[in-house]
Amino acid sequence: MPNLERIAVTGGNGFIAAHIIHQLLTSDYAKYKVTATVRSRQKGDAIYDLPNAKERLSLQIIQNLSQANFAGHHAVLHLAAPNFTDAKNDARLEIVDPAIQGTIAVLRAAKQSETVKVVIVMSSLRAATEGPVVGAKIDETMWNDTSSLKQNPLFYSKVCAERAAWSFMVENPDCNFKLITLLPSLVIGPSLTKALGETNAIIQAIVTGAIPFRVSLSMPIVDVRDVAATFVAAVEYYETVESGRYLVANDHTSSVNEICDWIAVKHSELNKVPTKSASHCVSTLITYTRKPGYGSAMRYSMVPNGVYDGAMGFDITTEKLRNALPALPPFRTVRETIEATVQDMRMWGHI
């Protein structure tokens, strides 16, 4: 039996968090007891159908992470965070401040518990870079220093929250736990609940023709099941994994053009998948037809200088992660992930 038996997961009903909880509850490594923080019983019900949930899943229903209590827990996985839809009027009040405050609240609660051995925070690739970096490998030494309250505030919130976490550790050297931040790229894949996640909505928009052309975007996709497996592996091997930042990404970055080809070949019945490519200029114009947060994120996933090959610019190295977690299985191919996502959206009635 490992040292870590009781695991807390914040934002437990979320897209990625639900997969983490599922893998913890079905682990062959240990019979983990999981506490999920959620904002309502209704949100908690969405994950109570998971295997072994009735025996080993408990809910902590709180409106604010400052109310979190991790007494008796051994690991805390922090995934609760603002998203695009939270940005309505004031980016600082609605996205950036909550991201920082939530992260600090989790670290404070972990420190107060005196039993927590590791806190794993989900950051983002966008905390390392705002967009493609042509001619250089993206690694954990990089920080996104271009996003701001006015330019991609969600990306900016990821930077601010992660920096705040590391500052907390410096200011609190007496913490008994280590801090690990995981920086996944674009996370898509099958969902364990009916909710259509923000990232899967991108694939839905392609399949349904809501994006009418093949726009010149880079898509650094990683499967949600592989991201969840990385969190679980970091729990299982926490004693040997060093505190630090770890990029979580697939070896292959796809273009929208490539994704459209895969879907069209595999699913000829989905006849709204775009067939014509848009120039860089038209691609940019199309982003302005999307919701502001989504559109801006799309523009900063475009390859600079109008180069059409959407796979350029996101050359991400995960060597640090693989060295830290050698037992972590190879990630699914992007093609496998796209296929699973399409099938899942069809099952839930999203397409």
Residue 179, pLDDT above cutoff 80? yes
pLDDT computed for residue 105 by the predictor: 98
Residue-averaged pLDDT of the chain: 91
**Tens digit of pLDDT for each residue in 150-163?**
989 999 999 999 99
**Tens digit of pLDDT for each residue in 222-231?**
999 999 999 9
pLDDT computed for residue 306 by the predictor: 43
Q: Which are the catalytic amino acids?
A: 158
pLDDT computed for residue 310 by the predictor: 46
Going from the C-alpha of 2 to that of each of 29, 57, 61, 179, the distances in angstroms are 8, 18, 27, 19
The amino acid at 135: G
Q: How confident is the model at residue 87 (pLDDT cuts 50, 70, 90)?
A: low
Number of helices (H) and strands (E) in the chain: give both, helices first: 13, 13
Taking residues 238-254, report their average pLDDT: 93
Share of the chain above pLDDT 90, in %: 74
pLDDT computed for residue 236 by the predictor: 94
pLDDT computed for residue 85 by the predictor: 63
pLDDT computed for residue 166 by the predictor: 98
pLDDT computed for residue 272 by the predictor: 94
pLDDT computed for residue 216 by the predictor: 83
Taking residues 286-306, report their average pLDDT: 73
**Phi, psi angle pair for 222, to nearest 5°:** -135, 145
Helix 334-348 vs helix 256-266: angle between axes, to the nearest 10 degrees? Answer: 60
Q: How confident is the model at residue 307 (pLDDT cuts 50, 70, 90)?
A: very low
d(CA 103, CA 97): 10
pLDDT computed for residue 3 by the predictor: 62
**Phi, psi angle pair for 315, to nearest 5°:** -95, 95
CA angle 90, 96, 100 (to 5 degrees): 145
Taking residues 161-167, report their average pLDDT: 98
pLDDT computed for residue 86 by the predictor: 58
304 vs 346, higher pLDDT:
346
**Tens digit of pLDDT for each residue in 93-128?**
999 999 999 999 999 999 999 999 999 999 999 999
Token pair for residue 311? 């796979």
pLDDT computed for residue 1 by the predictor: 39
pLDDT computed for residue 88 by the predictor: 72
Taking residues 60-75, report their average pLDDT: 97
Taking residues 333-342, report their average pLDDT: 96
DSSP per-residue letters across 155-224: HHHHHHHHHHHHHHHHH-TT-SSEEEEEEE-EEE---SSS---TTHHHHHHHHTTSS-SB--BEE-EEEH
